[in-house]
C-alpha cells in the first residue's frame, strides 16, 4: 500500500477523501501539524496546487490537497476563497451570507472544489475541478452535513446538501464531481512510483 499525504490537519477531510479513493491501494496520512501552508492563491485550483506542492516538497512524498468554497452570483462570487473564514462558526457564516443577500431575488450559487496531486519534488501530477450549481435558500433545511449545507439547495435533487444522504451528496457534490474528473487520470500517476 502506497502513502499519500493529505495537505490538511483535519481528520474529517482525510476520511472524506479516503471514501473517494476506495480500492486504489493507497494509504492517506495527515500532514504534520507543524507544517503550515499559507493559502495565497487567487483561485481554488491555485490554492490546491500550492498546498499539494509545498507539502510534497517539504516531506519528499506524494501529496493531495483540495480547496473548496461557495460562490454566490449576487455577491460577485463571495464568500469564495474566504468561505471558511466568513465567520467563526457554521451558523455565523450562514447568518452573514443570508444578511448579505437580504431580499435579493438572484440566489444562484455554486460550490467549487479543486483537487491537486503533487509528486515528491513538488511538481503537480494531476489536477481537477468540480462544480455543483445550486441556490441559496432564505432559511436552512435539513440536519446533515456541515458549513453552508442547510442553505445550499440543489435543484436537480430538489434537496439541500443537509437533506441528502451521505451517498447522494457524495455523488452530486462539488467534491464528488472533482473526484469523478480526477479518478480517470489516476493510472497516469504510475502508482508504482509512489
Choosing from 67, 73, 90, 121, the catalytic residue is 67
Between the CA of residue 126 and those of 27, 74, 165, what are the distances in Å?
18, 32, 29
Nearest Cα to 70, choosing from 38, 96, 104, 36? 96
Which residues have a Cβ under 8 Å from the Cβ of 87 and sit 6 or more positions away? Answer: 93, 94, 95, 96
Radius of gyration of the chain (CA): 17
Our answer to whether residue 90 is catalytic in this structure is no
Q: Rounded to whole angstroms, how far apart are CA atoms 51 and 34?
A: 14
- Cell numbers placing 188: 497516469
Residues serving a catalytic function are 67
Amino acid at each position: 500500500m502506497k502513502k499519500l499525504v493529505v495537505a490538511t490537519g483535519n481528520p474529517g477531510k482525510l476520511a472524506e477523501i479516503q471514501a473517494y479513493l476506495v480500492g486504489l491501494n493507497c494509504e492517506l496520512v495527515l500532514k504534520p501539524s507543524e507544517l503550515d501552508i499559507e493559502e495565497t492563491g487567487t483561485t481554488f485550483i491555485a490554492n490546491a496546487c500550492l498546498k499539494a506542492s509545498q507539502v510534497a516538497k517539504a516531506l519528499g512524498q506524494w501529496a493531495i490537497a483540495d480547496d473548496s468554497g461557495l460562490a454566490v452570483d449576487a455577491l460577485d462570487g463571495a464568500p469564495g476563497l474566504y468561505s471558511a473564514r466568513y465567520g467563526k462558526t457554521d451558523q455565523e457564516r450562514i447568518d452573514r451570507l443570508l444578511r448579505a443577500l437580504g431580499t435579493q431575488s438572484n440566489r444562484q450559487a455554486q460550490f467549487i472544489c479543486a483537487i491537486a496531486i503533487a509528486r515528491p519534488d513538488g511538481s503537480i501530477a494531476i489536477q481537477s475541478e468540480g462544480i455543483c450549481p445550486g441556490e441559496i435558500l432564505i432559511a436552512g433545511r435539513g440536519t446533515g452535513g456541515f458549513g453552508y449545507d442547510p442553505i445550499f439547495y440543489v435543484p436537480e435533487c430538489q434537496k439541500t446538501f443537509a437533506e441528502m444522504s451521505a451517498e447522494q451528496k457524495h455523488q452530486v457534490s462539488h467534491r464528488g464531481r472533482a473526484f469523478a474528473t480526477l479518478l480517470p487520470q489516476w493510472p497516469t500517476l504510475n502508482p508504482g512510483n509512489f
